[in-house]
């Protein structure tokens, strides 16, 4: 459409929001161009286990102890020996799926 300008930013998901905002401001100053900025970090695809873990950690209720026990009962092939490892992996899986920091329920304590 004539007269409609676009700014296309193609950025790595590893960039912080502040860095994306800076790139956007620079693109506006430069006259609405395209910017491509990639991170050197490689993102591995999430396994089925970690995708399932991300959903499970959000849908289930209870403390990490309760979630850990529920997980081990429901998914014995992906059993966790320690609840701290389970909690760490659940938070990381959530963050990788959503791109957001973990903000789980406060009741999920150790």
Condensed to tens digits (0 to 9), the pLDDT of residues 31-70 reads: 655 444 555 556 667 789 999 998 999 899 999 999 999 9
**Domain coverage including residue 30:** 8-37
Whose CA is closest to 10, among 41, 35, 43, 40? 35
Query: Is 32 in the same domain as 52?
Result: no
Map tokens 């899986």 to a residue.
93
- pLDDT attached to residue 107: 44
- pLDDT attached to residue 73: 97
CB half-sphere exposure, 101, CA atoms < 13 A: 3
Give domain status of residue 28, yes or no. yes
Query: Is 57 in the same domain as 23?
Result: no
Tell me what the mean pLDDT of segment 76-81 comes to: 97
Q: What is the DSSP letter of 110?
A: -
Contact status, residue 105 vs residue 94, Cβ threshold 8 Å: no
């Amino acid at each position: 459409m004539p007269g409609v300008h676009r700014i296309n930013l193609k950025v790595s998901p590893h960039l912080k929001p502040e860095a994306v905002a800076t790139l956007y401001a620079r693109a506006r100053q430069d006259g609405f161009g395209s910017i491509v900025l990639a991170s050197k970090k490689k993102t591995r695809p999430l396994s089925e286990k970690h995708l399932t873990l991300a959903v499970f950690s959000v849908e289930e209720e209870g403390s990490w102890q309760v979630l850990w026990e529920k997980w081990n009962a429901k998914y014995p092939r992906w059993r966790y020996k320690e609840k701290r490892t389970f909690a760490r992996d659940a938070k990381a899986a959530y963050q990788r799926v959503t791109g957001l920091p973990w903000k789980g329920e406060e009741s999920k304590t150790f």
